[in-house]
Amino acid sequence: MTSTYSRATVLLLTVLIFVSLVPVSVLSDEGMFLPDTLSQLPLKKLQQRGLKIPITDIYNPNGPSIKDAVVIVDGGTGEFLSPEGLMLTNHHVAFDALAVASDQSKDYATNGYLAHTRGEELPAKGYTVQITQELKDVTADVLSGVTATSPPDATAIFAKTRALVAANAKPAEGVTASVLPLNEGLSYYLFTYLTLRDVRIVYAPPKNIGFFGGDPDNFQWPRHDGDFTFMRAYVGQDGKPAEYATGNVPYKPKKFLSISMGGVKENDFVMVMGYPGLTKRYRESYSVAYNQNVLMPFSIDIFHKQIEDLENAGKNDRDLQIKLQSRIFEIANTLKDLEGSVVAMHRVRIVDQKRAEETAFTQWISGNPDRQKKYGEVLPSLRKAYDELTRTAQRDLIVQQMGGLSDLFQILSLVNRFAADKEKPQAERNPSLAMTVLRGRGALPEVLADRNATSEKALLAFFLRKAADLPAGQKLDAAEKRFGSLQGEARVRAEEDFARSFAESKNFATAEAVSGLFEKTPAQLKELNEPLIDFAGEVGDLAAQIGTRQRAFNATVARWRPLLVQGMSEMHGSKSYPDANRTLRFTYGDVKGYVPHDAAIYQPFTNLSGVIEKDTGREPFDVPAKLKQLYRARDFGPYATPDGQNVPVNFLSTTDIIGGNSGSPIMNGRGEQVGIIFDGNYEGLGNDFFYNDAKGRAIAVDIRYVLFIADKFGGAGYILKELDIKNAPASVRRAA
């Protein structure tokens, strides 16, 4: 299932790894294109494949177009389907709102939700809808005065981007602005967004439809998932964005999509518009190797531990279990993506491919003295920076994660430093440290109220175990001086006792107790005999040193990587689409199956009969009784396959998508929605690093299954009267 972005529930990986754009020729259906570049696509070829509308119907800066119907919904994408602000997105995009509104008496996360009237529509707490108002190339404004012999001045660029943001944002009207670098800072774009803050759930199917197959089916084909939810956006009565209020009115979009019940067949042309998250397809070999061999495996270990702790936390508390469903799902989804991506990167030998390209680049440079002067130090300098980064990378990742173990741990890391600072003459004290301590002490009541000591204990013990396994030369001194003399089970027990003392100490139990630590002198702190205070301080100090080295690494990359981008582009004689960065993009492809492995061929369509075949009566393959009844009675209404014996459920295409595209409309050549993107296949994982034309596929819910579930199963047929449905009988067409 494609990832969502705004509701991160994992520990933040704080190492900043830069993305490199090395332009290469676009092959097959690869590409996540900025809307204002669509006129540069091979339009005649696209028309031959099935594009029936002009490009201005997709993106038109001077009038309504599909661009105005496709929006950011929380961590995914959504699309307007009616003039009354009705939207369609994925069930897993809306799932957090269902979970937040649930408890044992009303478990919407499990049972779904149906609003019979607009007054019953369920507020999606914390959700927003962002609509792109404008996107504009502002490179000339940002980089004015920058030449090949005058490298970009980060301070000057920041000032210019901040000025552009200030000039284009309209807070009173709900319009925000951002200026983002593309192509490693070789170009800059201005994006403005209208943000709607009142979002409500209209209809969500139960979990055993919206997430049918659960984690076992996630990223797998064949798939049989009804991953959709209808929502609605509201504004104040003056038409401006507003917080939730019963008197608010539905938002009137500039554009909404039509739906086609005509379906799709194999090799049909399709296109997708949405907000893909982050791709890293043009990174140099050093970065790819670091991700493949260090960062991603480390993250996989952490996510396994987090899932274990969250599942344990909810075992004896049903309300908490309900609330944690969304967090567990998001982490499990990311985990499976990472695990599959590492396998895929090894399988296609992506690091070797990058090295071969860099060898060609080096040879190209050596053939010309001017190129040698301009680009000769690029790869050696980047290699040296990555060599330094990876020398202590495993230890540094543990330190950074341990340092961010919890808010309380971070506050405790300041205690010793602040006590020592107070011993200095007033003129020599660190005012920045004093302000940080002041803010930390002020936050203590909330920090302690939200504290999960059990999770802290488990994670600290986990990180101490990982520290014990570090190779020689990367050992963590703060751990070794406490546990290094112990071996085997004795060390494990000592680490667990240490972690337990953090969770159970009365000195960390209340806001008053923790705040009182900052009043003590170094001698008084020593008398407390709280080794965790010393440990947290040592970890915090080392994390600060790592941060200093990280900034030096970043500066090196910022100096040389733009030249690598420029040189690769010059060598190839082409300009590529920029990596995805959560801005609006367009992609296209065909409805197509694939060969996953030897002796197997996957067709591009699944049907309701496949849902029934998977039924075990147990989660995640527990088909609802009513859905089985509809199938047995062949009560499919107008949503059946041509032979009347089935209902289409999911289909595949070669469209180029990534996390963040969840909920994107997949449209036919006339711009009519035929499905909704919700996942990619396992064989196509790693697609944030490379596009796999042979095996990579986007998975969509057929729009006919969306309508069938809403109408025949969910009792939400009234929604269909709002929709502009093409190729449908009069009974389901939008009311005039």
pLDDT for the residue 319:
83
| DSSP string for residues in 420-473 | HHHTS-GGGS-HHHHHHHHHHHHHHHHHHHH--HHHHHHHHHHHHHHHHTPPTT
Confidence of residue 574 (pLDDT cuts 50, 70, 90): confident
Could you tell me if residue 570 is inside a domain? no
CB-based contacts of 165, cutoff 8 Å, min separation 6 = 177, 178, 179
Whether the model clears a pTM of 0.85, i.e. scores above it, the answer is yes
Pull the structure tokens for residue 320.
């908490």
CB-based contacts of 171, cutoff 8 Å, min separation 6 = none
- Greatest distance between any 2 Cα atoms in the chain: 88
Grouping H, G, I as helix, E, B as strand and the rest as coil, residue 245 is coil
CA-to-CA distance for 159 and 140, rounded, in angstroms?
Answer: 14
* Percentage above 70 pLDDT, the chain: 94
Q: Quick check: 575 pLDDT over 90?
A: no
CA-to-CA distance for 586 and 129, rounded, in angstroms?
Answer: 19
Residue in the block written with tokens 């009513």? 626
C-alpha torsion sign, points 334, 338, 341, 343: negative
CB-based contacts of 275, cutoff 8 Å, min separation 6 = 70, 72, 76, 77, 582, 583, 584, 585, 660, 661, 664
Could you tell me if residue 504 is inside a domain? yes
Q: Quick check: 732 pLDDT over 70?
A: no
Confidence of residue 151 (pLDDT cuts 50, 70, 90): low
Which residue did the predictor score with more confidence, 9 or 161? 161
The string of pLDDT tens digits covering residues 483-534 is 999 999 999 999 999 999 999 999 999 999 999 999 999 999 999 999 999 9
Average pLDDT over residues 595-612: 97
pLDDT for the residue 240:
96
Q: Please tell me which residue in 92, 217, 285, 569 is annotated as part of the active site.
A: 92
Q: Report yes or no: 285 and 380 within 8 Å, Cβ to Cβ.
A: no
Q: Quick check: 433 pLDDT over 90?
A: yes
Helix residue ranges, H only, 451-588: 453-468, 477-483, 488-504, 511-517, 522-528, 531-572
Average pLDDT over residues 216-237: 97
Domain that holds residue 327: 288-549
Could you tell me if residue 509 is inside a domain? yes
CA-to-CA distance for 609 and 525, rounded, in angstroms?
Answer: 68
The string of pLDDT tens digits covering residues 319-348 is 888 878 888 888 998 999 999 999 999 999
CA-to-CA distance for 653 and 638, rounded, in angstroms?
Answer: 24
Could you tell me if residue 395 is inside a domain? yes
Q: Please tell me which residue in 227, 590, 656, 688 is annotated as part of the active site.
A: 227
Neighbours of 711 (CB within 10 A): 19
Q: Quick check: 26 pLDDT over 50?
A: no
Neighbours of 326 (CB within 10 A): 22
CA-to-CA distance for 534 and 31, rounded, in angstroms?
Answer: 51
Pull the structure tokens for residue 479.
């751990």
Average pLDDT over residues 20-33: 57
Q: Report yes or no: 7 and 96 within 8 Å, Cβ to Cβ.
A: yes
CA-to-CA distance for 90 and 82, rounded, in angstroms?
Answer: 17
Query: Is 92 considered catalytic here?
Result: yes
**Which among 724, 637, 714 has a CA at the least distance from the CA of 208?**
714
Q: Please tell me which residue in 187, 341, 569, 662 is annotated as part of the active site.
A: 662
CA-to-CA distance for 584 and 132, rounded, in angstroms?
Answer: 8
Q: Quick check: 730 pLDDT over 90?
A: no
Lowest-confidence pick of 403-407, 411-415, 656-660, 716-720: 403-407
Residue in the block written with tokens 């011993």? 423
> Residue 418 forms beta bridges with which residues?
none
CA-to-CA distance for 516 and 411, rounded, in angstroms?
Answer: 12
Could you tell me if residue 474 is inside a domain? yes
Whole-number CA gyration radius for the chain: 27
Could you tell me if residue 600 is inside a domain? no
pLDDT for the residue 602:
98
Could you tell me if residue 662 is inside a domain? no
Q: Quick check: 16 pLDDT over 60?
A: no
pLDDT for the residue 321:
84
Q: Report yes or no: 421 and 430 within 8 Å, Cβ to Cβ.
A: yes
Average pLDDT over residues 270-278: 97
Q: Quick check: 13 pLDDT over 70?
A: no
Q: Quick check: 188 pLDDT over 70?
A: yes
pLDDT for the residue 699:
98
Relative orientation angle of helices 378-391 and 531-572, to the nearest 10 degrees: 160
CA-to-CA distance for 531 and 17, rounded, in angstroms?
Answer: 33
Average pLDDT over residues 48-70: 98
Question: For 660, how many CA atoms within 13 A lie in the half-sphere containing its CB?
Answer: 23
The string of pLDDT tens digits covering residues 362-388 is 999 999 999 999 999 999 999 999 999
C-alpha torsion sign, points 251, 253, 258, 259: negative
Q: Quick check: 719 pLDDT over 80?
A: yes
Confidence of residue 734 (pLDDT cuts 50, 70, 90): very low
Residue 709 gets which letter from DSSP?
Answer: I
Q: Report yes or no: 166 and 106 within 8 Å, Cβ to Cβ.
A: no
CB-based contacts of 411, cutoff 8 Å, min separation 6 = 440, 441, 443, 444, 447, 514
Q: Quick check: 393 pLDDT over 50?
A: yes
Q: Quick check: 9 pLDDT over 50?
A: no
Confidence of residue 25 (pLDDT cuts 50, 70, 90): very low
CA-to-CA distance for 59 and 36, rounded, in angstroms?
Answer: 7
Q: What is the amino acid identity at position 573?
A: G
The string of pLDDT tens digits covering residues 81-106 is 999 999 999 999 999 999 999 988 99
**Which among 351, 276, 284 has a CA at the least distance from the CA of 2?**
276
Q: Quick check: 544 pLDDT over 70?
A: yes
Average pLDDT over residues 271-278: 97
Q: Report yes or no: 382 and 286 within 8 Å, Cβ to Cβ.
A: yes
* Percentage above 90 pLDDT, the chain: 85
Average pLDDT, the chain: 92
Q: Quick check: 10 pLDDT over 60?
A: no
Q: Quick check: 5 pLDDT over 80?
A: no
Average pLDDT over residues 642-668: 97
Q: Quick check: 7 pLDDT over 70?
A: no
CA separation (Å) from 267 to 7, 47, 288, 602?
Answer: 36, 14, 33, 14
CA separation (Å) from 586 to 67, 433, 676?
Answer: 9, 47, 14
pLDDT for the residue 731:
63
Strands (E) located in 614-697: 648-653, 665-667, 673-680
CA separation (Å) from 700 to 30, 89, 94, 148, 228?
Answer: 18, 12, 17, 46, 10
Could you tell me if residue 293 is inside a domain? yes
pLDDT for the residue 148:
57
Grouping H, G, I as helix, E, B as strand and the rest as coil, residue 497 is helix
Average pLDDT over residues 562-567: 88
| DSSP string for residues in 119-154 | GGPEE-TT--EEEEEEEEE-HHHHSTT-BTTB---H
The count of domains in the chain is 1
Average pLDDT over residues 291-301: 95
